[in-house]
Amino acid sequence: MGDARRRTIELVEDLSDEQLVGPLLDVVNPLLWEVGHLAWFQERFVLRQACGEAPIRSDADAVWDSGAIPHDTRWRLALPTREETLEYVHEVRDRVIDRVLAAGDNDVVLHFAQYTVGHDDMHTEAITYTRQTLGYPEPTLSDLARADTAVGSGGCELFDDAEVPGGAFLLGAMRREPFVFDNEKWAHPVELEPFAMARGPVTQDDLAGFVEDDGYRRPELWGDEGWRWRQGVGADHPVYWRPEGKGWQRRHFDRWVDLEPNRPAVHVSWHEAEAYCRWAGRRLPTEAEWELAATGLPKRRFPWGDGDAEPRHANLDWQAMGTVDVDLFADGYSPFGCRQMLGNVWEWTATTFGPYPNFEPDAYKEMSEPWFGSRKVLRGGSWATRSRFVRSSMRNYFTPDRRDVFAGFRTCALR
């Protein structure tokens, strides 16, 4: 909990008061509000619900309850000052640590404490891509692990596929996991046909080929919804890209860099991924195919085995402060030789987000159920995902138009 709170504060402490509010956009929150919301969420579930304590601030629910306060209203609230917000954040942190240390084997307190740390971890990634969206400098963070990223077998070509056998597979979280969200519960059998999946994600060079072949101007490559989205936002190339000479540059936080051909494409919407697949004669994997390719048969906890993630396995925890080439982290390859299925970029799947059999919502009912049917599933985690948080069964989910998140994709062969 102390680490989660420290990382939250580090991600915003260099920003001005004006930057901590920022412009009203659909895809971001005011950062000052978001920091207070994280503490409120922890107070609500650990201190108030699990421990039965009274609110620390009488106005907390009116300021930070995300379920009750509409998105656009958050810019119009009379928010506590930066100093008042941090004072609240620190008091909640200290009280929660005290309650956890005194909890013993009280499963309710420990469960909600773990839940709220996971909530923090989701938001620290969101704060990171908010900084990218708003063009703020990359954050300066302490205690980052630096991995020896052993090189794999060279560049990842589009048709360099791993053959994955079909059959019965358990999709979802196993009950041995110490903590999972409600939408991962529980592992259940699915039948899959054999398929071939790209060993690595689509690279920036691959995506540049689509752009340069007028992929954004050919309606036959896009679904009806995707084409309406492309026209509506005026997308002629990936967001944060610009032409430079005979090539391309991309914006990394507040600076422009030449395109790195062997890094994964990132900040790609589901619509763009689908159009690319049509252009390439490929398809997106289903989430069941993705999980099988990541974990193998019999099912592992992670692509590399059952041990927790280490810096050598994957690009997580901001360790590279951006993406890395798709042939790195050889120690993290899956049983079928698929690369970087955890870390680097989240990967879109063809699957619409929905419940697993016998779904029951957790105490935080807004976590999953309101979004069933309206979002697409992503898998795998990004370079700004916490290693303690990510797992092969984790399901991320965004609307198909979102391209502010650290999302890319990999493809499967058509058969």
| 245 contact partners, CB below 8 Å, separation of at least 6 | none
* pLDDT score at 60: 97
The tokens describing 187, both together, are 């592992």
The tokens describing 113, both together, are 């404490």
Q: Are 383 and 250 in contact (CB under 8 A)?
A: no
Rounded Cα–Cα distance for residues 104 and 263 (Å): 46
Rounded Cα–Cα distance for residues 200 and 156 (Å): 6
pLDDT tops 80 at residue 389: yes
> What is the rounded average pLDDT of the residues 347-353?
98
pLDDT tops 80 at residue 25: yes
pLDDT tops 80 at residue 376: yes
| 105 contact partners, CB below 8 Å, separation of at least 6 | none
- Long-range contacts of the stretch 361-370 (C-beta < 8 A, 24+): 361/182, 362/115, 362/181, 362/182, 363/45, 363/49, 363/112, 363/115, 364/45, 364/115, 364/119, 366/66, 366/67, 367/181, 367/182, 367/183, 368/181, 368/182, 368/183
Q: Are 147 and 312 in contact (CB under 8 A)?
A: yes
> What is the rounded average pLDDT of the residues 63-68?
96
Give per-residue pLDDT as tens, 146-205. Answer: 665 554 444 444 458 999 998 999 999 999 998 999 999 999 999 999 999 999 999 999
Give per-residue pLDDT as tens, 308-338. Answer: 999 999 999 999 999 999 999 999 999 999 9
* pLDDT score at 22: 97
* pLDDT score at 156: 47
3-class DSSP assignment, residue 361 = coil
Give per-residue pLDDT as tens, 234-259. Answer: 999 999 999 999 999 999 999 999 99
pLDDT tops 90 at residue 401: yes
* pLDDT score at 147: 61
3-class DSSP assignment, residue 399 = coil
> What is the rounded average pLDDT of the residues 49-62?
97
Give per-residue pLDDT as tens, 89-99. Answer: 999 999 999 99
* pLDDT score at 155: 45
> What is the rounded average pLDDT of the residues 263-277?
98
* pLDDT score at 148: 59
> What is the rounded average pLDDT of the residues 262-290?
98
Average pLDDT along the chain: 95
Query: In the chain, what are the domains?
Result: 2-133 (1.20.120), 144-203+263-415 (3.90.1580.10), 204-262 (no CATH)
pLDDT tops 90 at residue 37: yes
Rounded Cα–Cα distance for residues 371 and 388 (Å): 25
* pLDDT score at 404: 98
Choose among 306, 307, 298, 394: nearest CA to 342.
Answer: 394
Give per-residue pLDDT as tens, 95-138. Answer: 999 999 998 877 899 999 999 999 999 999 999 999 999 999 99
Give per-residue pLDDT as tens, 283-306. Answer: 999 999 999 999 999 999 999 999
Rounded Cα–Cα distance for residues 85 and 82 (Å): 5
